[in-house]
A and B are shown apart, each in its own frame.
Chain A
Amino acid sequence: MMANRIAQAENVIWRRIGDDVVVIKDDGQSIHVLNKTAASIWEMCDGKCGINEITTRLCERFDVSFEDAYADVKEILEKLIQTGIMNQIEKIRGN
């Protein structure tokens, strides 16, 4: 299942450190590091964009086809959601 719009969880704070993003849950117990690609995706997850828009914007930034990028974006988003630092705003499409 992949959400149409995706947003950063409200219970986290994050900082960009060089190419990486460090995400800290506000219980202070867990810290996650996102690499360059995941960090770029993270910053696009503003609650207004879905996977298609994020993938398109990522393709503009990196020299990669939409099809290849889509698979990576989907995998990363699923991991971020599973970790609890990203939320699905509305689910409109099942995979």
Chain B
Amino acid sequence: MNPQANAKHISSFKNHTMRVQIGDICCAISCGDISIFDGLQKLFNNFLTDQPADISIELSVSEQLSPSEMEASLSEMRYIHEGNHFLPTSRIIASNYDLANRTISMCIERNPGNPGLDLKLLNQLLYLAYYSAWKLRNNGNPRALLVHACGILHNGKALVFTGPSEAGKTTIANLCREQNGEVINDEMLLISRPEQHDSVLEVRGIPIIGGHPQRLNATAPLSCILLLKQSNKTRIRSINRTEAYLRFIRQIITPSYIGLIDKRSVLSLMADFTDEVTGTIPIYELEFSLDRESLWWEIGKLERALEGEDIK
């Protein structure tokens, strides 16, 4: 099925444009549908910028799928490249890109039950744009990689809680009160690569949408990483480097970009990044229950230990 061929386009992309900051990248997003555009502006309010765009996303909206086709199309997309077209595994979207003009064009099926954009789809668009811009700018070597994680800003440093879906990232954010810190993002963060051997790794907030309403456009040095494990008790335990490596690498958002993907280079980048992070940053496993008090007491104890001992 080629959605573009039969799509009844009900909006064009040319009327409204905003620029959104994703780390060091600026992404212009154009959408002719005013209700979707307004919704996006509200979602990205903290990340709007006047910087020149590194890459552009042009959104158009169509209505062509039946409800049953929509239901079938909601499975996770995979980016499969054929010439300059991709995303054929999703029936929601038709898409193509123009490397010379640094533009990704997408035709998105409007969901009759939810006239706004599917948020998961929107997140995928943002990290596709992020990695694509780096591919165009620096041949696929970004200064920071996207990681599935919840970030909490506390005492000027970022605590990073990471784990797969359902591990409890949003739960951690929801258990965070003012005295515990500020939620940077509960779904995804940018973690920088060290520019020099002894340089500090930084966490940066991004406009990716998770389950918690707050998304901070903030940068802070990375204090430590806690690998989440839900439990009926709360405790923090040290883990060895290999376990940290294996669990962390799975939480990196695999760099996917427009153009021909060199899988080997992408995996090498992820392996090197994991090596850098696990070799530099203290990593622990956090078993936690829904008891907020014991959670933050344990984390406070860890923070004091890290301050005192300057671990690693």
Q: Which residues of A contact B (CB under 8 A)?
A: 13, 15, 17-18, 20, 22, 24, 26-28, 31, 33
Contacts and interface: CB of A to CB of B under 8 A. Distances in A.
A27 B246 CA distance: 16
Contact of B242 (A13, A22, A24, A27): A22
A15 B271 contact: yes
Contact of A18 (B241, B254, B263, B266): B241
A18 B242 contact: yes
A22 B267 contact: no
The DSSP consensus for interface residues of chain A is strand
Interface string B261-295: 00110111001101100100000000000000000
Sort A-B residue pairs by CB-CB distance and give the 7 closest, nearest first: A20-B242, A18-B241, A26-B264, A17-B245, A17-B242, A15-B271, A13-B267
22 contacts: A13-B264, A13-B267, A13-B268, A13-B271, A15-B245, A15-B271, A15-B272, A17-B241, A17-B242, A17-B245, A17-B275, A18-B240, A22-B242, A22-B245, A22-B246, A24-B271, A26-B267, A28-B263, A28-B266, A31-B246, A31-B249, A33-B246
Contacts of A31: 246, 249
A31 to B, nearest CB: 6
A24 B267 contact: yes
Interface residues of B, number: 17
Contacts of B245: 15, 17, 22
Contacts of B271: 13, 15, 22, 24
A17 B283 CA distance: 14
Contacts of A27: 263
A16 to B, nearest CB: 9
A28 B267 contact: yes
Contact of A33 (B242, B263, B266, B275): B242
B278 to A, nearest CB: 7
Contact of A28 (B241, B254, B272, B275): B254
Given A13-B268, A17-B245, 13 more contacts: A15-B245, A15-B271, A15-B274, A17-B241, A17-B242, A18-B242, A24-B249, A24-B271, A26-B263, A26-B267, A28-B266, A31-B246, A33-B246
